[in-house]
C-alpha cells in the first residue's frame, strides 16, 4: 500500500487497483446487455420474465455482498497490520461462510421460486417463464456465494485482476451457452456456407441455465485462487473449517449492516417492481431494459469503490488516519467526475441504447425516457456507492444501512406510487422517485465521510 503523503502516488495506487475492477464491471455489463438483447428477441414476455426476477436476484446478491464485506474488511485490516496468520484464518472462515450461506440460499430460493414471480405481479403469460427462470438461476446459489465472497476478499488483498479474469471468462461462457440454450436449432450462413446452429429452444429458462453455469464456473475459480494467494496467504483446507467465533462475530458486526442495507434497498426495489408490473408487460419490459442500460453510469463507481474499501481498510489496519481519509476522499472525487461523463453519454445516447435490447417501439420509447430521467442523479449515486464502501472499510457500517433504509423506504417506495397513480406520470414516476432517493443518499454519505466520525469507530482517533 502506498504511504506517500503526496496526492499523485495515492492517485496512482488507487487507479492501479481500480482499473481492473472497472473493466470487469464494463465487460460484465456488456455481457448483460447481450444477455438482455438475446432474451429480448423472444418479445416483451421474455424480457418481462427476466425483469420480474431482477429484484429477487439483486436481493440474493446484496445479501451475499454483505457476507463478503464481513470477511474482506477483516482481511484488509490484517494485511495492513502485517498479520498474515490472521489473514489466513479469515480466508478459511470465508470458505466456511460460502458453504453455509450458499446452501441456505439454495434451499430458500428453490422453496419459493414458484411463488415469488406471482407475488411480484407477473402476468399469466409471463408467469411460467418467470418461475422457470428463477428456479434454474438460483440452482447456482452456493457458487454465487463463493464468487461474491472471494471476489471481495481478493480485491481487499489488492488482487483486482483475478476477479476481472475469471468473471469475464464466465460471462463469455454465458453468451455461448445462451446461443445454444435460448433458441431452437436454426440455419445460418457463415462465410457464404450454409450451416446449422444447434439449439435447445428453452427461451428464458435457457438464459437462466446459461447464467447458472457461468456463475458456477466463476465461483469455483475464485474460491480456488482465493485460497492460493502465494505462500503468505495460502490456505490448506485439510486443516479443517472449524468455526472461529471471534472472526464470525466480527464478520457479523461488519457485514450484517451491509446485508440489511442491501436487503432494505432490494426489498424496496421489489416493492417498486410490483408497481411497475401493475402498469403492464410493456412497462415491465421497458423498466428492465432501462435498469440494464443504466449500469453504464455507475460501473466506474463500483470499480473505484472496490479499490477504496481495500485501501481504506489497509490504512485502518496500519493505523494511518491520514491515508484512510486521503484515499476515501480521492476515490469519491474520482467517481463523481467519472459519473458526470457516463451520465452525459447515457442522456445523449438513450434512444439507440434502448433500441439494442428490444424491437418493440413502445418499449424502446419508454426505456429511453427512463434513461434520460435517471441520468441526472448518477453522480450522486456514484458518491453513495464509493463512500458507503470507504465507510465500511473504516468500520462505520451502520450509517450506510440507515441511509439506505431512510432513502428507500422513506422516499422512493412511498413517492413512487404517488407519482405513478395520483400524479399520472406512469413508469416515469418510479424513476423520478429513484432520482430523489439517490441524490439524497449520495449527499448524506458525503456529509458523513466529511464529518470524520468514522475515525473513532475504527480506532484512529
Name 193's bridge partners.
190
Specify the 3-state DSSP secondary structure of 299.
Answer: helix
Distance (Å) of CA 76 to CA 20, 54, 156, 330: 18, 31, 5, 19
Instruction: Determine the average pLDDT of the residues in 329-354.
Output: 92
Q: Using CA atoms, how far apart are residues 338 and 420, in angstroms rounded to an integer?
A: 31
Whole-angstrom distance, CA of residue 112 vs CA of residue 53: 12
Q: Between residues 269 and 399, which one has the greater pLDDT? A: 399
Average pLDDT over residues 8-12: 84
Tell me the residue ranges of DSSP E strands in 382-443. Answer: none
CA distance 42 to 206: 12
Percentage of residues in the chain having pLDDT higher than 70: 97
- Please tell me the predicted confidence (pLDDT) of residue 3: 46
Residue 67, pLDDT above cutoff 80: yes
What pLDDT does residue 213 have? 94
Three cell numbers, residue 460: 484512529
Give the mean model confidence (pLDDT) for residues 141-145.
95
Lowest-pLDDT choice from 132-146, 187-201, 336-350? 187-201
- Helix-strand-coil percent breakdown of the chain, rounded to 5? 80, 5, 15
User: What residues does 75 pair with on adjacent strands?
Assistant: none
Cα separation of 81 and 119, whole Å? 48
User: Residue 41: its pLDDT value, please?
Assistant: 74
CA nearest neighbour of 87 among 29, 154, 169, 173: 154
- Beta-carbon contacts of 280 under 8 Å, excluding residues fewer than 6 positions away, are 123
User: What is the structure's pLDDT at 386?
Assistant: 95
Confidence band (pLDDT; 50, 70, 90) for 76? very high
* Residue predicted with more confidence, 395 or 7: 395
| Residue 230 burial class via C-beta count within 10 angstroms: exposed 0-12, middle 13-18, buried 19 and up | exposed
Cell 426476477 -> residue:
53
- pLDDT computed for residue 2 by the predictor: 46
- Rounded-to-integer distance, Cα 347 and Cα 361, Å: 18
How much is the pLDDT for 138?
A: 94
What is the structure's pLDDT at 299?
83
Entry pTM? 0.83
Gap between the Cα atoms of 309 and 18, Å rounded: 11
Q: Is the pLDDT of residue 32 over 70?
A: no
So what's the pLDDT on residue 394? Answer: 92
The reported pLDDT for the residue numbered 4 is: 46
The whole-number average pLDDT for the span 238-257 is 89
Which position has the higher pLDDT, 6 or 105?
105
Q: Which three cell numbers stand for residue 77?
A: 485490516
pLDDT over threshold 90, residue 100: yes
- Going by C-alpha positions, the residue among 18, 26, 57 that lies closest to residue 390 is 18
pLDDT at 146 over 80: yes
Instruction: For 291-333, write each residue's pLDDT tens digit.
Output: 878 877 888 898 899 899 999 999 999 999 999 999 999 999 9
Read off the pLDDT band of 425 (50, 70, 90): very high
pLDDT of residue 33: 64
pLDDT at 6: 57
Report the chain's mean pLDDT, rounded to a whole number: 88
- Listed ranges 5-19, 74-88, 283-297; the one with the highest mean pLDDT: 74-88
Q: How confident is the model at residue 381 (pLDDT cuts 50, 70, 90)?
A: very high
Q: What is the 3-state secondary structure (H, E, C) of 162-194?
A: HHHHHHHHHHHHHHHHHHHHCCEEEEEEECCEE
Amino acid at each position: 500500500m502506498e504511504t506517500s503523503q503526496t496526492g499523485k502516488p495515492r492517485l496512482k495506487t488507487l487507479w492501479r487497483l481500480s482499473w481492473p475492477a472497472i473493466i470487469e464491471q464494463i465487460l460484465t455489463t456488456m455481457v448483460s446487455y447481450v444477455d438482455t438483447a438475446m432474451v429480448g428477441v423472444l418479445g416483451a414476455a421474455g424480457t418481462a420474465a427476466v425483469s420480474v426476477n431482477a429484484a429477487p436476484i439483486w436481493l440474493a446478491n446484496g445479501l451475499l455482498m454483505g457476507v463478503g464485506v464481513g470477511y474482506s474488511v477483516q482481511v484488509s485490516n490484517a494485511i495492513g497490520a502485517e498479520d498474515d496468520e490472521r489473514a489466513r484464518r479469515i480466508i478459511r472462515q470465508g470458505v466456511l461462510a460460502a458453504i453455509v450461506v450458499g446452501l441456505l440460499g439454495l434451499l430458500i430460493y428453490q422453496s419459493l421460486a414458484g411463488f415469488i414471480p406471482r407475488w411480484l405481479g407477473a402476468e399469466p403469460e409471463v408467469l411460467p417463464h418467470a418461475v422457470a427462470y428463477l428456479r434454474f438461476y438460483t440452482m447456482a446459489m452456493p457458487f454465487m456465494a463463493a464468487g461474491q465472497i472471494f471476489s471481495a476478499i481478493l480485491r481487499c488483498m489488492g488482487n483486482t485482476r483475478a476477479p476481472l479474469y475469471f468473471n469475464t471468462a464466465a460471462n463469455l461462457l454465458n453468451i455461448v451457452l445462451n446461443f445454444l440454450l435460448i433458441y431452437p436449432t436454426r440455419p445460418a450462413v457463415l462465410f457464404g456456407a450454409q450451416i446449422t446452429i444447434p439449439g435447445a429452444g428453452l427461451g428464458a429458462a435457457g438464459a437462466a441455465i446459461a447464467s447458472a453455469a457461468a456463475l458456477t464456473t466463476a465461483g469455483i475459480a475464485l474460491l480456488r485462487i482465493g485460497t492460493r494467494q502465494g505462500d503468505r496467504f495460502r490456505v490448506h483446507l485439510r486443516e479443517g473449517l472449524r468455526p472461529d467465533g471471534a472472526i464470525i462475530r466480527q464478520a457479523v458486526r461488519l457485514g450484517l449492516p451491509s446485508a440489511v442495507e442491501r436487503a432494505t434497498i432490494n426489498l424496496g426495489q421489489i416493492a417498486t417492481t410490483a408497481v411497475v408490473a401493475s402498469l403492464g408487460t410493456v412497462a415491465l419490459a421497458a423498466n428492465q431494459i432501462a435498469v440494464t442500460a443504466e449500469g453504464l453510469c455507475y460501473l466506474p463507481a463500483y470499480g473505484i469503490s472496490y479499490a477504496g474499501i481495500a485501501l481504506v481498510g489497509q490504512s485502518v489496519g496500519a493505523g494511518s488516519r491520514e491515508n484512510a481519509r486521503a484515499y476515501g476522499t480521492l476515490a469519491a472525487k474520482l467517481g463523481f467526475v467519472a459519473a458526470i461523463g457516463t451520465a452525459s453519454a447515457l442522456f445523449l445516447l438513450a434512444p439507440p441504447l434502448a433500441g439494442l435490447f428490444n424491437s418493440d417501439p413502445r418499449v424502446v420509447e419508454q426505456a429511453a425516457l427512463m434513461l434520460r430521467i435517471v441520468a441526472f442523479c448518477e453522480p450522486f449515486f456514484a458518491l453513495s456507492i464509493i463512500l458507503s464502501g470507504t465507510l465500511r472499510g473504516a468500520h462505520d457500517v451502520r450509517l450506510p444501512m440507515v441511509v439506505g433504509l431512510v432513502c428507500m423506504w422513506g422516499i422512493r417506495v412511498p413517492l413512487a406510487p404517488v407519482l405513478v397513480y395520483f400524479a399520472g406520470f406512469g413508469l416515469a414516476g418510479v424513476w423520478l422517485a429513484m432520482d430523489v432517493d439517490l441524490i439524497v443518499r449520495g449527499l448524506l454519505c458525503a456529509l458523513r465521510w466529511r464529518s470524520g466520525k468514522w475515525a473513532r469507530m475504527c480506532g484512529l482517533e
